[in-house]
Amino acid sequence: MTSIKMTVNGKSVEKEVADQTLLSEFLRENLRLTGTHVGCDTSQCGACTVHVNGKSVKSCTTLAVSLDGAEVTTIEGVANGELHPMQVAFNDNHGLQCGFCTPGMIMSGIDMVNRYKASGQELTSDAIRHELEGNICRCTGYHNIVKSIQDAAAKM
Amino acid sequence: MSEQGIGARVKRKEDKRFTTGKGKYTDDVRHENQAYAAFVRSPYAHANVNGIDASEAEAMDGVIAVLNGAQLTGDEIGNIICGWAVNSKDGSPMNMGAWSALATSKVRYLGDAVAVVIAETQALARQAAEAVLVDYEVLPAVVSAVKALKSDAPQLHDNAPGNLIFDWEIGEEAATDAALAGAAHITEMKIVNNRLAPNPMEPRSAVATYDEAEEHYTLYTTSQNPHVARLILSAFYNVAPEHKLRVIAPDVGGGFGAKIYVYPEEIVCLWASMKTNRSVKWTSDRSEAFVTDAHGRDHVSTARMGFDENNKIVGFKVDTVANLGAYMSLFSSAVPTYLYATLLSGQYNIANIHCNVRTVYTNTVPVDAYRGAGRPEACYLVERMMETAARELGVDPSELRRGNFIGEFPHQTPVIMAYDAGDFAGNLDQSKEAADVAGFAARKAASVANGKLRGLGYSCYIEACGIAPSAAVGSLGAGVGLWESAEVRVNPVGTIEVLTGSHSHGQGHETTFAQVVADRFDLPIENIQIVHGDTDKVQFGMGTYGSRSAAVGLSAIVKAMDKVEAKVKKIAAHILEASEEDIVIEGGQVKVAGTDKAMGWHEVGLTAYMAHNLPEGMEPGLKEGAFYDPVNFTFPAGTYICEVEVDPETGVTTIERFTAVDDFGTIINPMIVEGQVHGGLAQGIGQAMLEGVVYDDDGQLLTGSYMDYTMPRADDLPFYKVLHNSTVCPNNPLGIKGCGEAGAIGAPPAVINAITDAIGNNDLAMPATPQNVWAAIQASGKSIAVQ
């Protein structure tokens, strides 16, 4: 067991965890933040995507003990008083159906918009599709997810 | 049309919880006193189980119990059933092999469960499962259905000689043979429909709790049909009587058919919760899902279609071998028969059809319904045949289809179905216009100038939804009725709860169903709550599959609303001293037409519950229920046109355009319907170009994770052009046909027809991976023939 301290969604947390605890497990089981989902066991589907120190990370392949002192944001921490433009865009554009991949899609979407804006690149629909390589959705056929991210990018 | 009623693009009410991480899925449930289950699964496709030594696992600190099949059967937990009895053509019943939730003496596929470990943590349960020693005596395996029928094939079940489950037929063979004998042209093909893994993104999960004092069980599970699950768990598996078993399917992360069935894990978790007096949770990981979730498709067919000298179809004969895997799953028998061969008439006027289907056991995961369930297999067959015939006959493939379209309704096909309405030529015209087929030649020339190949393919699909009526499907062997139930509760303050037996796992019922109620009673949509997925709340229901929720589930809601409306009018007429016929409901009020006499909708509710002043003899309250049994299937149909560009050097294929024109009848929420089409198209394109379950000859699964099984990604897919050409279904109150499966049914032949058009070689199997396309190009000689 190892004691770790991190900031999750703006709150400081300190827990004793088994060394093999994955960040996804830490969030879901230790902190009961169940919005972060686990859809595969090979780091492919991206349902578990969260932000660590401002960058998107697959929490299913990150050891919690490796993140001592880190700042973690999950889907539960994205809205700041009001919904984040990415969350609004997914509703406006019907970017979700069953909702299981949605937290990961939103976290990846926010990250990609931030990165493209920071580097001054245009986030085209082709770029969004390429960037979504690590996020799998089985319901939407991606059509409305791409539109949601495009829409949010214009508003962020 | 109002902003929230039928036809409006209302944004989904359920989205907020999903976009904020507040959805509640089964794996999010955690009870006090919860333990975790991990299954000991066979690493072999076929083996005798000569012994299980669990002593090491049992000795591990934190292991609560290790349970096996002998204990399960000792407690009289029943074998897993198939819910649809299909007889062979000689009248003999299907050869159904026994399937115990935990195998006792023999395992028949990789992943077959032999024991379960219950432990304090999931990690410990999995670790202990690894420590259970099973003495396997490995047997030869067979994974191909065609090979399994051969005389020297390994035998799976003693009561299924030759691994044959049934040998079934539909249609008139002699008449079809005669028609083909007189045909001016025959098109003949061998067509394989590739095996798929459904892959809803939420892995299956179950949390079972036994309350010893009440002798009562609660099961949270990832189900598309919690009431059906309760019925089967109770009536056939003897887990608990129905009134002592509550099944809750909370938020469910996609189903696509894979979550219709009651699986061994749900049975075992319930039983284990009683054995250990603990809540027991099991959650599949993706690798486990690949070897336990029912697979789909896996047909091998030969087909012959005959045409007369005017290019009219005179006969269609099909022989299909369907792989059902190691055991018969719940609806496995219906999928390759009544959901498949009954659609072989497609959109065409065909006087003579015959289809023979042999279903076969193999050492693979059981096969059952996956989005479309039989209809994609039929559509792929018919539409590949039509495109191929057009090429052989040297005619435009769209015109060959048009010349054979059914134009008058109702139309009785020779394979049971009676089509009720449609506009096949209209769908084709609209799609050709939208896809700019006229401009294809110029686009193709531009591709060729760039060293690429370009092709265009059609698919004119028809399917059947809302399997019904119950008496008819019962006569065909169904073990359930396929109606739906609903209850509409108007509260004393006028808000409404609708309890439905349909289940939403992505379809957006909380919005769509509320729209219909808001439309009917002219109330704000916010005042309407849809309740589903809990056997303690909803009286009964058959759940959601087969695109039935709107056509059947909503019809039950409409029927209940009819009764509510009648009572509302009686109450208002009484209070307002008017005739019932003069009462109208609008704008949140119940009025006497043509007067200023009115009362608020909520006042009617209050009056009903106060019961101080009701018409003579009227019961208090304002709540009505209804069961709706459809009078016929519904028949969604449409035309899909796919346009691809192929790089002849690499075989890499890109979809340049995909145009869908669908006839779904009345559309409640076009935004949601288009979303259903998008998702269906992605799965259909996935089948055509990316996906395929592959076993080696020993029954080892080679595509057991997302590293090996290609799920469609965003950059594999285009933006789709989705349009509608609705004809109203005459057989249900809203005129709805259903939209959930169309994309997955119609897309695969459009894609393969387009690619084969591009490469000039018709011999191309799904999935059309770059390697397969490249090989087909080599065989056609087109790799250097770009001119």
Q: How confident is the prediction along chain A (156 residues), in pLDDT tens digits per residue?
A: 999 999 999 999 999 999 999 999 999 999 999 999 999 999 999 999 999 999 999 999 999 999 999 999 999 999 989 999 999 999 999 999 999 999 999 999 999 999 999 999 999 999 999 999 999 999 999 999 999 999 999 999
Minimum distance, in Å, between the CA of residue B772 and any CA atom of chain A: 23
A20 and B715: CB-CB below 8 Å? no
Interface of A with B in 69-88 (CB under 8 A): 74-76, 78-79, 83, 87
Q: Would you say B506 and B191 are in contact if contact means Cβ atoms under 8 Å apart? A: no
Sign (positive/negative) of CA torsion B78, B82, B86, B87?
negative
Residue B466 has what pLDDT? 86
Provide, as residue numbers in chain B, all residues whose Cβ is less than 8 Å from the Cβ of A137. 201, 714
What residue has token string 């190691």? B326
Minimum distance, in Å, between the CA of residue B237 and any CA atom of chain A: 29
Burial class (CB in 10 A: 0-12, 13-18, 19+), B702: exposed
Phi then psi for B576, rounded to 5 degrees? -90, 0
A133 and B715: CB-CB below 8 Å? yes
A40 lies within 8 A of chain B by CB: yes
Separation CA B766–CA B725 (nearest Å) = 29
Residue to substitute from A125, A139, A144, A151, interface B, most B β-carbons within 10 A: A139
- Each residue of B468-509: pLDDT tens digit? 789 888 989 998 888 999 999 999 999 999 999 999 999 999
φ/ψ bin of B229: left (φ > 0), alpha (ψ from -120 to 50), beta (otherwise): alpha
- Each residue of B82-115: pLDDT tens digit? 999 999 999 999 999 999 999 999 999 999 999 9
Beta carbons within 8 Å of B433's beta carbon, 6+ residues apart: none
Interface of A with B in 53-72 (CB under 8 A): none
Minimum distance, in Å, between the CA of residue B497 and any CA atom of chain A: 22
Angle (deg, nearest 10), helices B424-434 and B397-404: 160
Among chain B residues, the shortest Cα distance to A74 is held by B21
Cα B445 → chain centroid: 40
pLDDT at residue B644 above 80?
yes
Separation CA B52–CA B416 (nearest Å) = 50
A140 lies within 8 A of chain B by CB: yes
Separation CA B126–CA B66 (nearest Å) = 12
Among chain A residues, the shortest Cα distance to B19 is held by A87
Minimum distance, in Å, between the CA of residue A21 and any CA atom of chain B: 10
Separation CA B510–CA B531 (nearest Å) = 8
Residue B291 has what pLDDT? 98
Query: Which among B479, B78, B68 is positioned nearest to B240, based on CA atoms?
Result: B78
Identify any residues that bridge with B461 across adjacent strands, giving them in sequence order: B638
Report the side by side order of strands in the sheet with B185-193. B164-171, B353-360, B313-323, B299-307, B185-193
Peptide bond into B469 cis (omega under 30): yes
Residue to substitute from A25, A102, A112, A143, interface B, most B β-carbons within 10 A: A143
Give the mean pLDDT of B759-763. 96
Provide, as residue numbers in chain B, all residues whose Cβ is less than 8 Å from the Cβ of A51. none
Q: Give me the interface pTM, i.e. the ipTM.
A: 0.98
Minimum distance, in Å, between the CA of residue B155 and any CA atom of chain A: 34
Among chain A residues, the shortest Cα distance to B720 is held by A143
Q: Which long-range contacts (CB under 8 A, 24 or more apart) does B433-440 make?
A: B434/B659, B434/B661, B434/B721, B434/B723, B435/B641, B435/B643, B435/B657, B435/B659, B435/B721, B436/B657, B437/B398, B437/B641, B440/B643
A133 and B679: CB-CB below 8 Å? no
- Each residue of B511-544: pLDDT tens digit? 999 999 999 999 999 999 999 999 999 999 999 9
A91 and B683: CB-CB below 8 Å? no
Provide, as residue numbers in chain B, all residues whose Cβ is less than 8 Å from the Cβ of A92. 11
Residue B609 has what pLDDT? 98
What is the average pLDDT value for chain B, to the nearest integer?
Answer: 97
Minimum distance, in Å, between the CA of residue B742 and any CA atom of chain A: 13
A140 and B30: CB-CB below 8 Å? no
Among chain A residues, the shortest Cα distance to B743 is held by A141
A99 and B285: CB-CB below 8 Å? no
Minimum distance, in Å, between the CA of residue A61 and any CA atom of chain B: 14
Provide, as residue numbers in chain A, all residues whose Cβ is less than 8 Å from the Cβ of B287. 41-42
B19 and A97: CB-CB below 8 Å? no
Provide, as residue numbers in chain B, all residues whose Cβ is less than 8 Å from the Cβ of A85. none
Separation CA B489–CA B622 (nearest Å) = 6
Query: Which among B175, B350, B123, B261 is positioned nearest to A19, based on CA atoms?
Result: B123
Encoded tokens for B722: 């989705």
CATH 3.30.365.10 fits B383-463+633-784, yes or no: yes
- Each residue of B399-434: pLDDT tens digit? 999 999 999 999 999 999 999 999 999 999 999 999
Minimum distance, in Å, between the CA of residue B678 and any CA atom of chain A: 5
Provide, as residue numbers in chain A, all residues whose Cβ is less than 8 Å from the Cβ of B285. 38, 40-41
Domains in chain A: ranges and CATH: 2-77 (3.10.20.30), 85-155 (1.10.150.120)
B714 and A132: CB-CB below 8 Å? yes
A141 and B253: CB-CB below 8 Å? no
**What is the number of CB-based contacts under 8 A between chain A and chain B?**
183
B18 and A102: CB-CB below 8 Å? yes
A99 and B506: CB-CB below 8 Å? yes
CB neighbour burial string for B276-306, b if at least 16 within 10 angstroms, e if fewer: bebbbbbbbbbbbbbbbbbbbbbbbbebbbb
Separation CA B646–CA B456 (nearest Å) = 11
Sign (positive/negative) of CA torsion A42, A45, A51, A57?
positive
Separation CA B776–CA B780 (nearest Å) = 6
Query: Which among B723, B629, B627 is positioned nearest to B667, based on CA atoms?
Result: B723
The partner residue sitting opposite B20, judged by closest CB among A87, A142, A145, is A87
Helix locations, B113-263, DSSP H: 122-131, 145-148, 173-181, 226-235
Separation CA B744–CA B729 (nearest Å) = 21
Say what the pTM is. Answer: 0.97
Residue B667: pLDDT band with limits 50, 70, 90: very high
- Each residue of B444-468: pLDDT tens digit? 999 999 999 999 999 999 999 988 7
Rounded to whole angstroms, what are the CA distances from B378 to A118, B340, B748? 51, 5, 11
Separation CA B15–CA A150 (nearest Å) = 18
Rounded to whole angstroms, what are the CA distances from B256 to A95, B17, B202, B283? 18, 22, 11, 18
Residue B575 has what pLDDT? 98
Give the domain ranges of chain B: 18-139+202-253+259-292, 383-463+633-784, 483-628
Residue B782: pLDDT band with limits 50, 70, 90: low
CATH 3.30.365.10 fits B483-628, yes or no: yes
Query: Which among B86, B168, B80 is positioned nearest to B475, based on CA atoms?
Result: B86
Separation CA B640–CA B419 (nearest Å) = 20
The partner residue sitting opposite A42, judged by closest CB among B123, B678, B707, is B707
CATH architecture type of domain B18-139+202-253+259-292: Alpha-Beta Complex (3.90)
Separation CA B552–CA B648 (nearest Å) = 48
B714 and A145: CB-CB below 8 Å? yes
Helix locations, B628-669, DSSP H: none
3 state SS of B325: coil
Minimum distance, in Å, between the CA of residue B718 and any CA atom of chain A: 8
Query: Which among A27, A26, A154, A28 is positioned nearest to A92, based on CA atoms?
Result: A154
Angle (deg, nearest 10), helices A143-155 and B670-689: 120
Residue B784: pLDDT band with limits 50, 70, 90: very low
Interface of A with B in 90-129 (CB under 8 A): 90-92, 94, 96-103, 106, 125-126, 128-129
The partner residue sitting opposite B19, judged by closest CB among A18, A87, A132, is A87
Say whether B483-628 and B383-463+633-784 share the same fold. yes
